[in-house]
Amino acid sequence: MNKRRLFINLQKRMNVWTIVSLTGAAVILLPILYVLSGLIRPANDNWESVKQFLLTDYVIGSLKLVLFTGFFATSIGVVLAWLVVGYTFPLRKWFRWALMLPLAVPPYIAAYTYATMTSYTGFIQATLRNQFDIHVTPGTIEVMSTRGAVFILTLFLFPYVFMIAKMFLERQSAVYIENARLLGHKRLSLFFNVVLPISRPAIIAGLMLVVFEVLSDYGVANYFGVQTLSTAIFQTWFSMYDVDSAMRLAAWLMVVIIGIFVLERYLRRNQQYNTSMKQNKPLAPKPLKGAAAFGATAFCMIVFLLSFVIPVVQLIVWATWTYEKMWSADLIELALNSLSGAAIATFVILILALLSAKTVRTMSSWPAYLLTKLMTVGYAVPGAIIAIGVLAVCIQLDKWLFPIYASLGMGKGMLWLSTSLFMLLAGYVIRFMATGYNAIETGYDKIPRSYSEAARTLGHGPASTFFKIELPLLRGSIVTGFILTFVEIVKELPITMLLRPFNFDTLAARTYQFAIDERIYEAALPSLLLISISLFSVLCILNIEKEKTK
């Protein structure tokens, strides 16, 4: 290929779309890379002591949470998914979507709700004591410990596994399972020999979501006093004011994450997700009778009560106690802050997602593909890491921009970026890019390439094709992507705690503050508000899905 041709090639590939999405990817990756670079910078004294005395504990704490929660959440999720897909029993149809509702309850809210409920003065022990005169040995049902953290994280994260496994089993398992039934496999044998092996990729995908959520968790672990890498980052940052060591911890956590990422790829090496749009024959469920049916209903019901009804009812009760005091203008302002922050960040995410999905689609060259894939790593990176990276990059930018601020008459030594809402929004965008991007990409995959090509042969350039053909056809995916991303951001705690500007408070941050200050009853109302927003979004999505399958 001669030089001239090379130039033509470059010109063809380097259009506005590419440049914008490459820039977007770079901006998103920058903070994460910055954190990683912490590994090769020289350490300060404090770090030596952290490393010597605490690092092992942090790593063990994180691993314990990941292993136990991963195991229990996956077990519950898969068993429930198989029950509602493979069998019929009373209330099955209802459980199929009701079991996703726990996703609307942020685990840190559940944590303080349960902790308070089961404490000495809490509802459960008080009832046992006063009504039945049963005195519980201290520590029997208290959930304040690693045990408690695992309990909470399991109950409120299992729906990820449930959702993905259920979708897989519903759409793609019919052939295998019917064959296995013909070959005489039943119940347990069917579950262990057929269902588990064929749904491995789906289970791993769900498990990974759980693992990343656990590693990212700050609220639950901190509330239960479990030392993890995530909580350690907060402590070194806020108690020791040692951002350097915090960054170094973040880098270590990042190494763990990358390890898990590689492990995931390895576990799924030969298994491409079957993304074919062909609607396979759905599996016909077998009816359960008698004790088995009762058992199935009871199991689903217990999980549902524990992971949704009980905490929500308890919160409602508490909210009625503090209703008058809390229902102040302040609460509305908090809600507005939460909603507007989330809306702006979601908007930015969707624009970036549309641009990069479009770029990946129009050009198949691997650098663009790789960069865009990298853009979505944020979902695996804990909020605390992203927060530190964003902060560091913004402070650096501020230093560079000093002269410009000065020339604008904003005063010397002014930190503008790193004290503004910009930081918080950037953190949200980086962390939740993947949620929006995946929704858009799924939508794009459903539009035949020939549509865009036809538009081009009819004289429309890439931009015009995008606005007239692709955008209208993507409408459904955009709505779904918006809701999913929005709700994640509204619930997000660590990034909000670390990056919000001085006078900017959100529902999530305030709720958590109340909880830490032992003002549990006052936390109830903002918690309920948060749960309602999430619930509304989850219901919207479920409704959209239902429409689609019709």
Which residues of the shown chain bind other proteins in the complex (CB under 8 A)? Answer: 1-2, 4-5, 8-9, 11-12, 448, 450-451, 453-461, 464, 468-469, 472-473
Tell the smallest beta-carbon distance from residue 89 to other proteins (Å): 39
Q: Which is nearer to other proteins, 129 or 460 (CB)?
A: 460
Q: What's the closest the beta carbon of residue 64 comes to other proteins, in angstroms? A: 48
Q: CB of 16: closest distance to other proteins in angstroms?
A: 14
Q: Kindly state the smallest distance separating residue 464's Cβ from other proteins, in Å.
A: 8
Residue pair 83/163 in contact (Cβ under 8 Å)? The answer is no
- Cβ-based nearer residue to other proteins, 57 or 453: 453
Interatomic CA distance for residues 384 and 372, integer angstroms: 23
Closest distance between other proteins and the C-beta of residue 458, in Å? 3
Contact 349, 458 (CB under 8 A): no
SS (H, E, C) 165-230: HHHHHHHHCHHHHHHHHHCCCCHHHHHHHHHHHHCHHHHHHHHHHHHHHHHHCCHHHHHCCCCCHH
Centre a 10 Å sphere on the Cβ of residue 441 and count the other Cβ atoms it contains. Answer: 20
Q: C-alpha angle 114/118/121, rounded to 5°?
A: 125
Q: Where are the beta strands (DSSP E) in 415-529?
A: none
CA distance to 59, 214, 262, 290, 447, per residue, from 64 (Å): 9, 10, 20, 39, 44
Work out the number of other CB atoms within 10 angstroms of the CB of residue 114.
26
Q: Smallest distance, Å, CB 478 to other proteins?
A: 14
Q: Name the residue nearer to other proteins (CB basis): 2 or 503.
A: 2
No. of helices (H) and no. of strands (E), the chain: 28, 2
Closer CB to other proteins, 157 or 354, in the complex: 354
Dist. CA 203–CA 303, nearest whole Å: 19
Q: Which residues contact 187 (CB under 8 A, 6 or more apart)?
A: none
Q: In this structure, are residues 84 and 95 in contact, taking their beta carbons and an 8 Å threshold?
A: yes
Tell me how far, at minimum, the Cβ of 460 lies from other proteins, in Å. Answer: 6
Nearer to other proteins, 453 or 545 (CB): 453
CB of 238 or CB of 467, closer to other proteins: 467
Q: Which two tokens stand for residue 17?
A: 């779309």
Minimum CB distance to other proteins smaller for 450 or for 503: 450
- Closest distance of CB 538 from other proteins, Å: 28
Closest approach, Cβ 7 to other proteins, in A, equals 9
Q: How far is the CB of 362 from other proteins (least distance, A)?
A: 11
Nearest distance, CB of residue 363 and other proteins, angstroms: 11
Taking the least distance from each CB to other proteins, the nearer of 361 and 456 is 456
How many Å apart are CA 220 and CA 216, to the nearest integer? 10
Residue 276 C-beta: closest distance to other proteins, Å: 16
What is the distance, to the nearest Å, from the Cα of residue 377 to the centroid of all Cα atoms in its chain? 12
CB of 463 to other proteins, least distance (A): 10
Identify which of residues 470 and 492 has a Cβ nearer to other proteins in the complex: 470
Residue 87 has a CB neighbour count (10 Å cut-off) of 16
> Amino acid letter at 331?
L
339 near 538, Cβ under 8 Å? Answer: no
Q: Which is nearer to other proteins, 7 or 536 (CB)?
A: 7
Rounded-to-10 torsion of CA 397, 20, 216, 513: 60
Q: How far apart are CA 99 and CA 304, in angstroms?
A: 6
In angstroms, the CA 314 to CA 506 distance is 22
Distance of CA 160 to the CA centre of its chain: 9
Choice between 225 and 461, CB closer to other proteins = 461
164 — phi, psi (to 5°)? -70, -45
Residue 458's alpha-carbon distances to 452, 469, 474, in angstroms, are 10, 12, 21
Closer of 5 and 548 to other proteins (Cβ): 5
Contact call for residues 153 and 214 (beta carbons, < 8 A): yes
Nearer to other proteins, 2 or 130 (CB): 2
307: amino acid identity, one letter: S
Cβ contacts of 393 within 8 Å, gap of 6 or more:
30, 31, 34
